[in-house]
Amino acid sequence: MPVLLLAHGGDTSIPPLTPARLLAEGRVEPVPAALLLLAAGLYLLGVRRLRARGDRWSGWRTASWLAGGLGVVAVATMSGLGPYGDALFSVHMAQHMLLSMVAPIFLALGAPVTLALRTLAPGGRRALLAVLHSRAARVLMFPAVGWVLFVGSPFAMYFRGWFPAALRNEWLHQLMHAHFVLVGCLFFWPLVGLDPVPGRVPYPLRFLLVFAALPFHAILGLSIMDSPTLLAAGYYLGLHLGWADPASDQRLGGGLLWASGDLVGLLMLGAVVVQWMHASDREAAREDRRLDRLAAQSRAAQSQAAQSAVGEVGGVEAEGPDRMPVWWATEERKTDR
């Protein structure tokens, strides 16, 4: 159990939740902080290499990776959401949604694999391509695998004992956060990502996968709200928070999962539709260019054929009434002799 939340008698070291404390009460986790800094540093190094050789890289991709992806992970784990997420189920559920449904989308839009392929040395590029083409990558990035993990793992977590164990063990707690991010990436990366990863499917199937995931988050949220059993009851009751009611807070957390899951899902459906429309426009533009090239080639061939025909006709006329063909003149000279 985190030290900040150890209860002593009827008191606790964590004060009641307020918006100001949510912003101020943060803690730096060494391992997650080091991983986030490493991911940010490597990405910025790749962008610098690209620009140093005169290539361009979208600022929106950089902002998606740094602020929308890594930044959201940092806020979810190292802001006031961190300590209060250990004390209140509703705050934990806010962390869950940020880590599994917000950060992975922006990480995918940052296109780090594309950046790596454009900046790595030849040996590193070959190694990365070998990983992308490996059987393990194809299995993990297969859309059905990501969908099952994204939809099914929360039910297993909250109703099979992993959640109470993660609250009491710091390493399991960090593993739970990493699980949220990784499963979210497996689900969203093939659907909205820009990288050439395995598992990319046509846009209609992407739409169906996102649409099919919506009811399950609603079902999970309603199940938590209506559950007569308090999740991790021994842990939450042992905190002795006089300013919080664990049962009411659990209902609030289930409502957050229900509402925010549907909201993010609807936004995802909109994003898939927009990407689908843009892809259709690009495909139509490519098809127009292809047809234009074929038409230009056809016109050039017709023009060349017409010029050849005119040349042949001109040669026959040159041997016409004004000039006798050579063979005719030869025969005429023989007759005169």
Residue 265: per-residue pLDDT: 75
41 inside domain = yes
Residue 303: per-residue pLDDT: 81
Residue 311: per-residue pLDDT: 64
Is the same domain home to 324 and 209? no
Is the same domain home to 249 and 224? yes
**Residue 209 near residue 123 (C-beta atoms within 8 A):** no
Torsion angle in degrees (nearest 10) through CA of 244, 247, 251, 256: 40
Is the same domain home to 207 and 298? no
Q: How far apart are CA 335 and CA 337, in angstroms?
A: 5
119 inside domain = yes
How many domains does one find in the chain? 2
310 inside domain = yes
286 inside domain = no
Residue 222: per-residue pLDDT: 92
Q: How far apart are CA 75 and CA 319, in angstroms?
A: 91
Is the same domain home to 259 and 220? yes
Is the same domain home to 189 and 87? yes
Q: Long-range contacts: 15-21, Cβ < 8 Å, 24+?
A: 16/243, 16/244, 17/84, 17/88, 17/91, 17/243, 17/244, 21/80, 21/84
CA neighbor of 107 nearest in space, from 51, 11, 43, 45: 43
Is the same domain home to 300 and 201? no
**Whole-structure pTM over 0.75, yes or no?**
yes
Total count of residues recorded for the chain = 337
Place of tokens 């985190």: 2
Residue 320: per-residue pLDDT: 47
Would you give per-residue pLDDT tens digits along the chain (337 residues)? 343 444 333 344 678 888 888 887 878 888 889 999 999 999 999 999 999 999 999 999 999 999 999 999 999 999 989 889 989 999 999 999 999 999 999 999 999 999 999 999 999 999 999 999 999 999 998 888 999 999 999 999 998 888 999 999 989 999 999 999 999 999 999 888 888 888 788 888 888 888 888 888 889 999 999 999 999 999 999 888 888 899 999 999 999 998 887 777 777 777 777 777 777 777 777 777 888 888 888 888 888 888 877 766 555 444 444 444 444 444 444 444 4
Is the same domain home to 165 and 307? no
326 inside domain = yes
243 inside domain = yes
Residue 284: per-residue pLDDT: 76
Is the same domain home to 211 and 321? no
Is the same domain home to 182 and 48? yes
Residue 312: per-residue pLDDT: 61
Which ranges of 227-324 would DSSP assign to H, the alpha helix? 233-238, 246-318
Domain boundary pick from 239, 255, 280? 280
Residue 108: per-residue pLDDT: 92
Is the same domain home to 214 and 304? no
Q: What are phi and psi of 223, to 5 degrees?
A: -65, -40
Residue 326: per-residue pLDDT: 45
Residue 296: per-residue pLDDT: 84
46 inside domain = yes
CA neighbor of 275 nearest in space, from 189, 188, 193, 195: 193
45 inside domain = yes
Its domain, for residue 156, covers: 3-280
Domain boundary pick from 234, 253, 280? 280
Residue 7: per-residue pLDDT: 38
Is the same domain home to 249 and 318? no
Domain boundary pick from 237, 259, 280? 280
Is the same domain home to 184 and 214? yes
Residue 52: per-residue pLDDT: 92
Question: Using one digit for the tens of pLDDT, what is the confidence trace for 183-193?
Answer: 999 999 988 88
